[in-house]
Structure 1
């Protein structure tokens, strides 16, 4: 017994939440072995009173350390992106993650419910504003931010935070271009354009990483419209000609002919005014690919097929952040002889093509030991402090309308009214 609570029950409940498991799955597992477990009400009671306050407090300690490191570094470059809790455009929750790209650590997470801002489309801007405001209030000097091309975030930084440099993630921009080129490749009249997809995405990355200014990145990017027509000199002083040698034999390409449907439509996509304007702000150094990796990790702790309460969802996001920060900078795995290990994988976005990926050392979970120690050494013994901290998290109104049951007196009055009407 721990403070009049069966220790086994509390340990089982803590293991379920701290590892990102589900009570129903664990209950089925115990039932398959015919092992007596605890009730669902008992689990959610311990989760609300003890487990969630423990996670909130441990994340507070982690966040305080990360902010202290950011203050010592002077200025930081942040990366931000939102993840919806369900596929499609009808999400209930939107979790906005702010990551310190300098050290590859999640520094803040904001959870927004759609009815707080009117609809699910506005959740990303709200989460971004909340996170940036909190970090600035803590004294963090934000030098630059890398995000996707969300219009609400662009407008906010352009009007409210002019001193912060705003960059766009090349992965998101390359993904958008790739989808449009794939659509051209599916049509008979423009199928030759589809063969340029990989080269165009690579050229976008190269334009960003090898340019010293946004104007130079634009000059290099717009040159591809001439290059794919086998024209390698350009009317731009910043990039007058291509840097490659003669492309003959195996180095030749399927060149597009001028005035053909494939050439004209692909050129319209590549030189669209809005896209070219955004290329000028493409990030030359930092990307948000690590944010995408963190969003993939969140699925292990809060699957999109399962619904959670607001505090339950927030706690699982914090556990996921603790796991990511502990394993963010793992070293390269080696064999017994000391040879670096690699693996060949076939990502979905490669459409059957492969890529070589460096294998990392096995992830650790020491954060679970810290959570368990905090729970049994402090929270169970004196839960008031931790519960008060957990209650500071504002919980929005329920998303759906709730039926309000009338009190007993009103029910009796309505019954008497119906009785007298009948008589």
Structure 2
């Protein structure tokens, strides 16, 4: 077995350590009788991830090598050696019997436990450095970083690619079935009512967002991800390195172009794509994909506007803006969600906030009567509000922000109320497998990102809110540091990790291939 030339520090040091738990397999049924020895081939053929394992002291193991199991004579010599995480004991008795005992089965000469340890490290988002630190404290025998890198390159990375490709093909197959369920084209005139019309193919809505490997403008990698807007499943992810283009600023646009082109090459009909308000992506959509409707993400727009309000509130005489920041952002979300896919109605509702903050809830614009859409407030609620006076400095600043011409122009691309909330959740989950302060290789970033995709797609569709014994939603109280307030949120069922067991099965099957060099 030759060692791979990769650096043992290929994955750096992770910020968080997590305990690995093997997923429950409902098809597995343990045998009623167990044995202290594993002599039969049926036991060694069983997937190692399903068999319970324990940490045993060396002295306790040697207690079993005092008498020969063949003749009962005393054992006069034992030779202990370690191969990765496997322990081997060679023994000889006084009557000439000898043998070799191993702590784990082998697959074509490689200890199965070495494969399992390497798989557990990568598939749970840990690092070999973390495993080394833990094993040194316990004086626990584990695989070396060089062995880990060799197993990772030969077995783990191909297994991740294989399972990701299979999962992506299944998503595309379901999308293709939906696309073939074509909608009838509506008639364009009264004379055409009752006539046959050519069916319209279903056009899918996609949301995209990019993630850089480090903070700031000195990032080396950018991973751009696309999700299906109806199921929130990730359908495409592309990784771009800074050496491929001119600068780190241009990585996101290049990754976006590669990802969208790959999706279109599959034959999927895309009607709408939602991204942030990046000028480079906006130019790509206008020049290269004019037939696809481009929408701006409400989430990023609201976060940007919220920062501007808080920044203005820190200036002298503009403190009341901080009290209204939360309500103005909520109004932006409401205006986009309730405009009925009409950009003019979106702008009209958005500008109504300038009347609401002054305690005016009915007004006239261009001879048209308008009013706030919230329920009528009681006198007690109105007295508690810190209304702004029309003509005051905070009101003028807010008016300039609300009526900014660039913002009103971008509202023309926000009438469909699309946002990348699911991608923001995914990017938070990516930190489990790939913290920003790690410096892995190109392949390390890609494969760890695919692990996050596998976990996301497994749980995003079937995950449901947890319920109480009475059948109601289970809620949890938490303190939001951003708003400095207590709030309630729904508790969801824990994530499942069945993909890890499938990856283990692929790894074990690959080891049976004698053509692999490692």
- Alignment of 1:141 with 2:246, yes or no, is no
In the alignment, which of 275, 287, 290 is matched to residue 159 of structure 1? 287
Instruction: Tell whether the 8 Å contact from 1:207 to 1:220 is kept in structure 2 after alignment.
Output: yes
Instruction: Tell whether the 8 Å contact from 1:146 to 1:169 is kept in structure 2 after alignment.
Output: yes
Q: CA deviation at 1:5?
A: 1.9
Identify, as 1 or 2, the structure richer in helix.
Answer: 1
Q: CA deviation at 1:386?
A: 12
- Alignment of 1:233 with 2:370, yes or no, is no
Matches of 2:501 and 2:439 in 1, distance apart? 27
Instruction: Tell whether the 8 Å contact from 2:206 to 2:270 is kept in structure 1 after alignment.
Output: yes
1:40-76 Cα shifts (integer Å, max 9, x gaps): 1111111112111111111111111111112222232
**Equivalence for 1:125:** 253
**Equivalence for 1:346:** 479
Alignment of 1:327-366 (within 5 A): 327-329=459-461, 330-349=463-482, 351-366=483-498
**Equivalence for 1:259:** 391
**Equivalence for 1:407:** none
Instruction: Tell whether the 8 Å contact from 1:345 to 1:357 is kept in structure 2 after alignment.
Output: yes
1:194-226 Cα shifts (integer Å, max 9, x gaps): 211111001101101111211110111112123
Q: Radius of gyration: which is bigger?
A: 2
- Alignment of 1:210 with 2:338, yes or no, is yes
Count residues in correspondence: 385
**Equivalence for 2:60:** none
Alignment of 1:253-402 (within 5 A): 253-282=385-414, 284-329=416-461, 330-349=463-482, 351-377=483-509, 379-382=510-513
Greater Cα offset, 224-233 or 102-111: 224-233
Q: CA deviation at 1:184?
A: 2.1
**Equivalence for 2:186:** none
Matches of 2:374 and 2:150 in 1, distance apart? 66
**Equivalence for 1:416:** none
Q: CA deviation at 1:246?
A: 5.2
Matches of 1:44 and 1:239 in 2, distance apart? 70
- Partner SS for 2:386: coil
1:337-380 Cα shifts (integer Å, max 9, x gaps): 4332011223343x212332111111111000110111111x22
- Alignment of 1:42 with 2:147, yes or no, is yes
1:164-196 Cα shifts (integer Å, max 9, x gaps): 121112111111111111112222311122211
1:265-318 Cα shifts (integer Å, max 9, x gaps): 111111110011112221544321110000000000011121110001100000
Alpha-carbon spacing, 1:19–1:283, altered in 2? closer, same or farther (3 Å): farther
- Partner SS for 2:365: coil
Q: CA deviation at 1:248?
A: 5.4
Instruction: Tell whether the 8 Å contact from 1:99 to 1:108 is kept in structure 2 after alignment.
Output: yes
Alignment of 1:85-96 (within 5 A): 85-96=213-224
Alpha-carbon spacing, 1:10–1:31, altered in 2? closer, same or farther (3 Å): same
Matches of 2:408 and 2:517 in 1, distance apart? 51
Alpha-carbon spacing, 1:68–1:240, altered in 2? closer, same or farther (3 Å): same
- Partner SS for 1:167: strand
Matches of 1:361 and 1:238 in 2, distance apart? 49
Alpha-carbon spacing, 1:69–1:237, altered in 2? closer, same or farther (3 Å): farther
Instruction: Tell whether the 8 Å contact from 1:82 to 1:96 is kept in structure 2 after alignment.
Output: yes
Alpha-carbon spacing, 1:238–1:314, altered in 2? closer, same or farther (3 Å): farther
Matches of 2:178 and 2:517 in 1, distance apart? 30
Instruction: Tell whether the 8 Å contact from 2:343 to 2:415 is kept in structure 1 after alignment.
Output: no
RMSD: 2.0
**Equivalence for 2:117:** 12
- Alignment of 1:22 with 2:150, yes or no, is no
**Equivalence for 2:352:** 223
Instruction: Tell whether the 8 Å contact from 1:216 to 1:239 is kept in structure 2 after alignment.
Output: no
- Partner SS for 1:139: coil
**Equivalence for 1:404:** none
Unaligned runs of 5+ in 1: 388-423
- Partner SS for 2:109: coil
Matches of 1:165 and 1:386 in 2, distance apart? 49
- Partner SS for 1:240: strand
In the alignment, which of 33, 58, 68 is matched to residue 138 of structure 2? 33
